[in-house]
Amino acid sequence: SSNMEDDVSLKFHQQLLLISENLVTEDVAALKFLCTDLLHIRKLEGVKSALDIFKLLMAQEYLNAEDTFLLAELLYRIKYHSLLEKLGYTKEKVQEHLLEKGRVSPYRQMLYELSENITNEMLKEIIFLLQKHLPKRWITLSALDLLILLEKQGLLTKDNVQILEDICVIVSPDLLEIIKHYKKTKGRDCSGWSFLFQPKVGFKYMVLEVLALLSFKNAQWEVILSLSEKTGSVVGECTLRFLFCLRPFPVDQYELPAPAFFFSFPQNMTSYKMDGAHRGFCLIINNVNFNSSQRKGSCKDAEQLERVFTWLGLDVRTYTDLTSGDIRSLMQTWQHLQDHKDRNCFICCILSHGESGAIYGTDEKVVLIRTLMSHFTAKQCPQLAAKPKLFFIQACQGNRIQCPVYVDTDAQTPDLSSMEESFSLFESIPEEADFLLSMATVDGYVSFRHIEEGSWYIQALCSKLQLLVPRGEDILSILTQVNEDVAKRVSPSGTKKQMPQPAYTLRRKFIFPIPTAPPPS
């Protein structure tokens, strides 16, 4: 029994270590903030890593091997859904138990949501407006730092958010809606049942949804009632839920304890910050000439990608005909580039032959896609930590379809001795957050390239970027339209089709700022 407990404890600590290794400085700051109401502020000030927070939570018995829900909730709140599976949770499972087990207060949720929606430009304006409240030598590092300072000075509390309202009226009405939603829900009278009879929130304005979960437990009938007020406001629907027990006694002996209220703040998907002076670097690797073949039409793709990403504000660098060794070396060079720290994102486009989970160098040797992407994890490239890394790959992921007369494919006859196993798309993408991998085709199939007009996938990608970025669409919405475009195409024979496939661990929406210049084509 003792050995079994030791094994459980070891596994639990290994889980915490693995999660900690995937959390960067920005994530640790967010976790500290969300734990402010749970842990002593002085102890939190000494936190340097996620492991430090985990130790504090364990010391206060908020976290142990048998109950990891609080950590799951924290990861959910910072939108790091890909790590939930390490604890045996999914996003949906956490949502299901938040009402019952959630510990992060509505006030703390609201402040965190605000910080996530405050851009660098907004932050500068807010600091200017609040300068009389700020220490003269104080240097603002983030929106969270500013909120913490206001709390320390007593200017901001769960019962008084007036200073935030005054600022948001000037800086951003959208931010004001977040505060209004918090106040509207918090404003319900939670002392007993009197709120039911107030004119503004009486039964006249309410839809009563009764979800009866009847279970005989300790001689008590448990009933959950959900009261939903249809407010009709832009904030949407506020839901108040309460639990009470109906005991099997005569009616006049029913006991109705004071209801316990829960608040579920809507998880609005925020966007990655893309308002820096420098957007980021875009690498284009264009492999045309192989030992036994030539990828005709690929230069058309490379030229179009260069035009479009330059238009989008990226600093584009194109490399042609790289061997497998050259590709690995190039990734290592860009991995260590210090200039990433001043950029908002990183993009890499690879045009080559490929096989399942890999692309080919011009020497016809494979390079695993996972290996390429692993150079840019937070641990390997801290300058890009918490920033979006996008990889677009035009290459086959198999060779099941033979090329027709007028259409070429990006399949290369593989050297089976160099590939003992296949790698699926989801095995290729790193487990940590902020990556997107968009492949021209699903695993096991070829992708098509016109020998004069370029590949179906890259031409559709460039076309949709030019069409939809000016409309403010995010990258996943754009890739969905790319899928639709490519899926409609057929080869000259009328029988060959293709379907692109994205995989991602993005935590926010990725939206390119709308260029001032017209699209290049």
Among 35, 396, 450, 462, the active-site one is: 396
- The three-class DSSP label of residue 35 is coil
- Sequence-distant (6+) residues with CB within 8 A of 317 are 281, 282, 283, 284
Task: Copy the structure tokens of residue 470.
Answer: 């000016």
Distance of CA 320 to the CA centre of its chain: 33
Active-site residue flag, 353: yes
CA distance 332 to 277: 25
- Sequence-distant (6+) residues with CB within 8 A of 131 are none
CB 496 within 8 A of CB 490: yes
DSSP one-letter code for 260: P
Cα dist from 59 to 62, 75, 190, whole Å:
8, 19, 32
**End-to-end Cα separation, the chain, in angstroms:** 70
Active-site residue flag, 396: yes
Among 353, 381, 450, 462, the active-site one is: 353
Say how many CA atoms lie within 13 Å of 102 toward its Cβ: 23
Cα dist from 190 to 194, 240, 259, 480, whole Å:
8, 10, 7, 45
CA distance 424 to 442: 9
CA distance 511 to 294: 35
Cα dist from 360 to 249, 328, 364, 437, whole Å:
76, 11, 5, 17
Say how many CA atoms lie within 13 Å of 403 toward its Cβ: 16
CA distance 414 to 399: 9
Handedness of CA 88, 92, 94, 100 (dihedral sign): negative
Active site residues per annotation: 353, 396
